[in-house]
């Protein structure tokens, strides 16, 4: 094997590894500044345990159980701050850099003019199936990152908001639905 | 600005429905839920076996074996309970994680729809 | 009510109520199932003395409430299974899953009798008189516990909301 061939092989292995590697989310420095934080990290073994616990008989549990079947990992980092300016927009850049890998596509990107509110959704596909979702959400006093690895039903996940007594989010400047029933 | 409109609407809704929102939230938090599948059958089985139970006679020669069996049962039960607690913790975390994901998806969708309708 | 099948039906009819009271009180699924089982076993022993369906429902609520409070005295710990660190900020107008979790833990941190009053009022929709009968408590005390508990929960949530009232 020539040196050139070896180098090409190593580069392709590295690219392949990068495209299949989990997204690394390191926002630990924000936890100490947040007034409230939710940090959830579930790997495949914990997801299996979760699936054992959730009941197929109850509709709410069954929907979640169905969604987590086929998942390899779920990571959530969600921070709420007492004041604005407790995090920098650049805190999300290392995550965005990873989501620029060839296997990832940005399917939603909404931000206001001064960039203080952003919503971004990225998906990773493999042979036409969604095998990863990353959601980045930034508000003046809130920052959330959700990363889901594995085969996920995105429509089912979006519609989950109709369960557990959570009404669908309405469009701003329309009246919001009251109550849960 | 979108943020100002949302904040004013949220504040007005909060003031106008002070006690109802809290009661709604308490009812939502305390909504009824079911035990695990087969609960009624397990209870009935225990109730039936309890009625048919015979007094246990202690035999000297089996005392040590009984103690060991009891100890093993305690360890197994503790392990089983710990496992169950771990499963429950993972289950609740999974539910919360997906709820948050769903909420963020919905928010993004709402923003896109709002932008589309206001362009 | 002699046959096992009839008893299974009876348990299935009321298991949600008994389990939910226990779970809302203890915030531990395993402990709640254990307590609910004990309640139904006691029901099985006392079936002959119960006269009507309404009597069964009232009896179950009463026994569940008292057993939960007694259990709390024996096991004075509560481990939340999902840690929500620090205190939440402005509660959303629409139902917020994190808020629901936090409020559940706040309710579970109330003193035992006050906690059960809140559960009987907002989960079981009992009025003050029924709560008083269930817990063997004067109505005046039920009103006081209810007022105090809801005010405390509201104050905790509102304080964390930075001025937005819930």
Is there a single domain that holds both residue C131 and residue C94? Answer: yes
From chain C residues 99-158, the ones with a CB under 8 A of any chain B CB are 99-101, 103-104, 107, 118-119, 122-123, 150, 153-154, 157
Measured CA to CA, the distance from residue C118 to residue C98 in angstroms comes to 20
**Domain-located, residue A177:** no
Q: Which long-range contacts (CB under 8 A, 24 or more apart) does A135-141 make?
A: A135/B101, A135/B104, A135/B105, A135/B108, A136/A92, A136/A95, A136/A96, A137/B104, A137/B107, A137/B108, A138/A89, A138/A92, A140/A84, A140/A116, A140/B3, A141/A80, A141/A81, A141/A82, A141/A83, A141/A84, A141/A86, A141/C89
**Residue A48, C-beta contacts closer than 8 angstroms, at least 6 positions apart:** none
In-domain check, residue C5? yes
In this prediction, residue A121 carries a pLDDT of 92
Extract the residue ranges of chain B whose pLDDT is less than 70: 1-20, 50-61, 118-119
| Together in a domain, C69 and C113 | no
Containing structural domain, residue A86: 28-162
pLDDT at C51: 78
The domain total for chain C is 2
Q: Is residue A172 part of a domain?
A: no
B77 — contact with chain C (CB < 8 Å)?
Answer: no
What domain count does chain A have? 1
Q: Do C19 and B33 touch (CB under 8 A)?
A: yes
Tell me, yes or no, whether A40 lies in a domain: yes
Mutate to test the interface with C, among B40, B46, B52, B110 (most CBs of C within 10 A): B40
Question: The CATH number of the domain where C2 resides is what?
Answer: 1.10.1740.10
Query: How big, in percent rounded to 5, are the helix, strand and coil portions of chain B?
Result: 85, 0, 15
| Chain B nearest CA to C138, separation (Å) | 23
Rg over alpha carbons for chain C, rounded to the nearest Å, is: 17
- Domain containing residue C52: 1-78
Tell me how crowded residue B23 is: count the other CB atoms within 10 A of its CB: 14
Beta-carbon separation of A159 and B102 below 8 A: yes
A160 has a pLDDT exceeding 90: no
Please give the average per-residue pLDDT across A123-137, as a whole number.
Answer: 89
Cross-chain CB nearest to C11 (options B21, B30, B43): B43
Average pLDDT score, chain A: 78
Any CB–CB contact under 8 A between A44 and chain B? Answer: no
In DSSP terms, which residues pair with A129 in a beta bridge?
A: A126
> What span, in angstroms and rounded, lies between the C-alpha atoms of C7 and C45?
11
Q: Report DSSP letters for A91-109, one per residue.
A: GGHHHHHHTTSTTEEEEEE
pLDDT on residue B53: 43
Whole-prediction pTM: 0.50
Neighbours of A87 (CB within 10 A): 20
Q: C127 and chain A: CB distance < 8 Å anywhere?
A: no
Is the Cβ pair A37, C86 closer than 8 Å? yes
- Do residues C66 and C93 share a domain? no
C29 and C5 within one domain: yes
**Rounded Cα distance, C124 and C146, in Å:** 14
Provide the pLDDT for residue B118: 67
Dist CA A30 CA A32 (whole Å): 5
C93 shares contact with chain A (CB less than 8 Å): yes
Question: A3 to chain B nearest CA, in Å?
Answer: 46
With respect to residue C83, please indicate whether it lies within any of the assigned structural domains. no
For residue A58, the chain B residues in CB contact (below 8 A) are: 33-34
Residue A150 — very low, low, confident or very high, per pLDDT cuts 50/70/90? very high
* Whether residue C44 is found in the same domain as residue C17: yes
pLDDT at residue C95 in the model: 57
List chain C pLDDT tens, one digit each, 166 residues.
467 788 999 999 999 999 999 999 988 888 899 999 999 999 999 888 887 888 899 999 999 999 999 887 766 544 444 444 444 444 444 556 777 878 888 898 899 999 999 999 999 999 999 999 999 999 999 999 999 999 899 888 776 553 333 3
Residues in chain C: 166
Task: State the pLDDT at residue A161.
Answer: 61
The whole-number pLDDT of residue B86 equals: 86
Smallest CA–CA distance from A172 into chain B, residue: B6
**Given pLDDT bands bounded at 50, 70 and 90, which one contains residue A158?**
confident
Residues C134, C111 share a domain: yes
The neighbour count for residue C5, using CB atoms within 10 Å, is: 9
Nearest Cα to Cα of residue A55 among B45, B33, C38: B33
The pLDDT of residue C89? 41
Return d(Cα B114, Cα A108) in angstroms, integer: 13
ipTM value for the complex: 0.80
Q: Looking at mean pLDDT, say which of A13-17, A174-178, C12-16, C48-52 comes out highest.
A: C12-16
Among residues C78, C100, C115, the one where a domain terminates is C78
């Amino acid at each position: 094997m020539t040196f050139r061939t070896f180098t090409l092989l190593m580069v392709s292995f590295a690219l392949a590894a990068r495209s299949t590697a989990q997204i690394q989310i390191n926002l630990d420095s924000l936890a100490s500044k947040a007034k409230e934080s939710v940090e959830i990290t579930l790997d495949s073994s914990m997801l299996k345990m979760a699936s054992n616990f959730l009941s197929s008989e109850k509709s709410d549990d069954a929907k979640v159980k169905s969604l987590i079947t086929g998942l390899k990992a779920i990571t959530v980092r969600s921070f709420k701050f007492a004041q604005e300016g407790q995090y920098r927009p650049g805190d999300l850049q290392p995550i965005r850099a990873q989501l620029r890998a060839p296997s990832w596509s940005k399917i939603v990107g909404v931000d206001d003019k001064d960039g203080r509110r952003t919503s971004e959704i990225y998906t990773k596909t493999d042979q036409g199936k969604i095998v990863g979702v990353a959601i980045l959400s930034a508000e003046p006093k809130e920052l959330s990152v959700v990363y889901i690895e594995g085969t996920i039903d995105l429509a089912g996940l979006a519609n989950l908001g109709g369960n557990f007594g959570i009404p669908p989010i309405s469009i701003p400047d329309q009246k919001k639905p009251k109550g849960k029933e | 600005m979108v943020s100002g409109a949302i904040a004013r609407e949220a504040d007005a809704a909060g003031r106008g429905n002070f006690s109802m929102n809290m009661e709604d939230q308490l009812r939502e938090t305390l909504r009824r839920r079911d035990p695990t599948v087969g609960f009624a059958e397990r209870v009935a089985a225990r109730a039936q076996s309890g009625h048919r139970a015979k007094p246990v006679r202690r035999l000297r020669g089996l005392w040590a074996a009984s103690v060991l069996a009891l100890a093993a049962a305690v360890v197994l039960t503790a392990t089983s309970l710990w496992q169950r607690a771990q499963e429950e913790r993972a289950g609740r975390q999974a539910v919360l994680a997906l709820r948050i994901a769903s909420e963020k998806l919905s928010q993004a969708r709402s923003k896109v729809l709002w932008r589309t309708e206001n362009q | 009510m002699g046959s096992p099948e009839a008893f299974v039906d009876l348990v299935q009819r009321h298991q949600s109520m008994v389990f939910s009271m226990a779970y809302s009180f203890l915030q531990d699924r395993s402990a709640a199932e254990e307590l609910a089982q004990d309640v139904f076993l006691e029901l099985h022993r006392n079936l002959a003395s119960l006269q009507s369906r309404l009597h069964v429902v009232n009896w179950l609520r009463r026994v569940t409430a008292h057993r939960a409070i007694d259990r709390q005295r024996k096991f004075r710990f509560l481990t939340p299974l999902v840690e929500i660190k620090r205190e939440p900020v402005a509660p959303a107008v629409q139902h917020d899953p994190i808020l629901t979790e936090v409020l559940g833990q706040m309710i579970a941190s109330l003193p035992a009798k006050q906690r059960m009053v809140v559960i009987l009022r907002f989960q079981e929709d009992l009025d003050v008189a029924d709560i008083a009968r269930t817990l063997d408590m004067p109505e005046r005390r039920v009103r006081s516990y209810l007022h105090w508990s809801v005010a405390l929960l509201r104050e905790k949530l509102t304080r964390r909301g930075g001025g937005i009232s819930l």
